[in-house]
Copies of this chain bind each other. A is one copy, B any other.
Amino acid sequence: MSIQSEVRLMKKDAPFMAASSLEKRNNALRKIKENLIANAEEIFEANKKDMEAAEENKIAPSVMKRLKFDQGKLDDVCAGIDQLVSLPDPLGKITLARTLDDGLNLYRVTCPIGIIGVIFEARPDALVQISTLCIKSGNCAVLKGGKETAETNRTLFNIIHESIVEAGLPERALLQAQQHSEIDELLLCHDCVDLLIPRGSNAFVQYIMNNTKIPVMGHADGLCHIYVDSEADFEKAIPVIIDAKTQYTAACNAVETLLINRNIAKEFLPMAAKALSDAGVKLFATEEAAEIIRENGTEVKSVDEQDFKEYLDMAISIKLVGNVDEAIDHINRYGSHHTDSIITENNEAGKKFMNMVDSAGVYWNCSTRFADGFRYGFGAEVGISTGKIHARGPVGLEGLVTYKYKLFGKGHIVGDYASGKKHFKFKDI
């Protein structure tokens, strides 16, 4: 059966997921955890096959690390499931209750989005994490993992699928797509898939975004900035820059561009450049900044600001700006609207930056690396969204629900209000 036909069938089961009790959904999560632990050996065995194939195909060591699913990863996903079970029900929350007139009551109530398509490269733990988030939020999910972990994914999916059926949830609530060609098929399902969540490289997410009419939640790039203002406290600035750049360079929230106020450049830039260089970071700077760095004996390569990019590596771009307005302008123009930070002790500059930088996260005197669902205290996260429609920033369960308006009447008709026979009372209850 084609993915489209399967998803159409899933659509028939989606209302049953939407109406399922919290108890049933939590039971399914508990069963998944039990069955993952009970079948740990089978999972590790499958993962071993994937790892061997990856080695044969000379996959880069950094990617190999992501493919691995060992006892540590199993412990992590099980801890995640425990936490998810403990969270309150995201469904059925009443966010507006209003009497429109006697006997005519309106409620806005949270409900699942419906059918979520999840497409991810590598990382089999993402399959467990995202499918359990979908179950908790009453959504149906189509899962497509990368071919590098095909064996692990198949094993994990079968365990998860069996568990939800055991718990009494609809059989078609979860579906695994196994063929690569099915990604393109899935991208065409805008009549029945409500949301796509891609997790992977920039190029991969960009491809998804460019080739579907289905709304996509996520981010292709993370080109984050730190602006060091003329009134920055250098003792805060240097450690924040080093942390944001070097603590985990492959993360989307690592800093990629450093903007420095011209007034402090002669004093601050040599210090920052040396600290970065000592930490093993390669420097790229506009000519003006490069000159100052070179004068002080640190190695730097001159580049134009148009060539500043997301390195995801031990490298950073540097440019001087005249004031906070120029910094804001640069960030809004070249940034990816992910997370940007200002280092300053000046209240006015700080406030301006926080209000006018158009990013999901705007930070004051701290590292961009804090942009993360766990560090925000959200628990499990679906991903980080740089879109401004629906969810923004780190997205947890809240991003997987929508709402519907429920109106309860006693035979009420609009004609009575149009004719003036009756009048609306509008009273929140």
Contacts and interface: CB of A to CB of B under 8 A. Distances in A.
A57 interface: no
Interface string A383-406: 000011110111000000011111
B100 A243 contact: no
A98 B195 contact: no
Contact of A414 (B16, B243, B405, B412): B243
A215 to B, nearest CB: 4
B375 A411 contact: no
Oligomer copy total: 2
Contacts of A359: 404
A366 to B, nearest CB: 3
A389 B195 contact: yes
B236 A362 contact: no
A377 B426 contact: yes
A341 B402 CA distance: 20
Contacts of A58: none
Contacts of A242: 413
Interface in A338-386: 352, 354-367, 369-371, 375-377
A360 to B, nearest CB: 6
A290 to B, nearest CB: 27
A332 interface: yes
A352 to B, nearest CB: 7
B405 A239 contact: no
B114 A16 contact: no
A331 to B, nearest CB: 10
A408 B356 contact: no
A194 B389 CA distance: 8
Residue among A15, A18, A357, A361 facing the most chain B CB atoms (10 A cut-off): A15
A289 interface: no
Contacts of A388: 113-114, 194-195, 402
Contact of A215 (B11, B215, B239): B215
A243 B415 contact: yes
Contacts of A426: 377
Interface of A: 11-12, 14-16, 18-19, 98, 100, 104, 106, 108, 111, 113-114, 194-195, 209-210, 213, 215, 217, 233, 235-236, 239-240, 242-244, 247-248, 328-329, 332-333, 352, 354-367, 369-371, 375-377, 387-390, 392-394, 402-415, 417-418, 424, 426
Given A108-B393, A364-B409, A393-B403, 10 more contacts: A11-B332, A11-B333, A195-B388, A235-B411, A239-B413, A363-B407, A365-B409, A375-B424, A389-B390, A390-B390
